[in-house]
Amino acid sequence: MKARRLIALALGIWLSWGTAGWGQDAMPDDQALSTLKKPAPPQAAPIPPPPPNAPSAGTDEEIATNWVVLGGLDKLTARVVTIEAEVGRTTRFGQLEIIARTCRTRGPEAASPESAAFLDIWDMKPNQPAQSVFRGWMFASSPALSAMEHPIYDVWVLGCKSR
């Protein structure tokens, strides 16, 4: 019984607030709003020109290279290695065979430097047929974007280079 009285009391107070200054009557009309002064927008500082000897921004042109630099992790031994694989040739890492189909990069002078490689990776277990574990693009700046899932090995792209 007391709970109902408290709810009724709270409801009555809330309703009285809604009609006494908190409802539509308290909202200013369009004429009152038009008399308010609007603050002036802040003035942006002008952007100075680059110094005469400043380096240029570079181009975002992709460069195809003939070598890919990979990182490899053997999860059983915790061994981390750097693998240099020639594009189009088979490279072994543990029981994995890796073929880099292409490696493309944008140089460090580019607006957004990036290296990406298209890889084919097979698991070569003894006395079993080869099993494809990864086929696709890997990106050096975002290794988790397109990761190879394998219980023993991790492989990721570090960069591209030409010899």
Give pLDDT tens digits for 19-50: 444 444 545 555 555 555 555 544 544 544 54
Task: Give the 3-state secondary structure of residue 100.
Answer: strand
Q: Does residue 6 lie in a domain region?
A: no
Q: Where are the alpha helices (DSSP H) in 98-161?
A: none
Q: In this structure, is residue 7 part of a structural domain?
A: no
Residue 97 within a domain: yes
Tokens of 33: 């709003």
How many folded domains does the chain comprise? 1
Is 17 domain-assigned?
no
* pLDDT top residue among 106 and 46: 106
- List C-alpha distances in Å: 26 to 10, 20, 22, 34: 21, 8, 6, 16
Cβ neighbours of 140 (radius 10 Å): 21
| Domain extent for 153 | 63-161
What tokens does 116 get? Answer: 């990406």
* 27 assigned to some structural domain: no
Instruction: Identify whether 2 is part of a domain.
Output: no
Condensed to tens digits (0 to 9), the pLDDT of residues 110-162 reads 666 789 999 999 999 999 999 999 999 999 988 888 889 899 999 999 999 98
The pLDDT-based confidence of 62 (bands split at 50, 70, 90) is confident
Instruction: Report, in this order, helix, strand and coil percent for the chain, each rounded to 5.
Output: 15, 40, 45
Judge contact between 135 and 116, C-beta under 8 A. Answer: no
Furthest C-alpha separation in the chain: 88
Would you say residue 14 lies in a domain? no
In a domain, 122, yes or no: yes
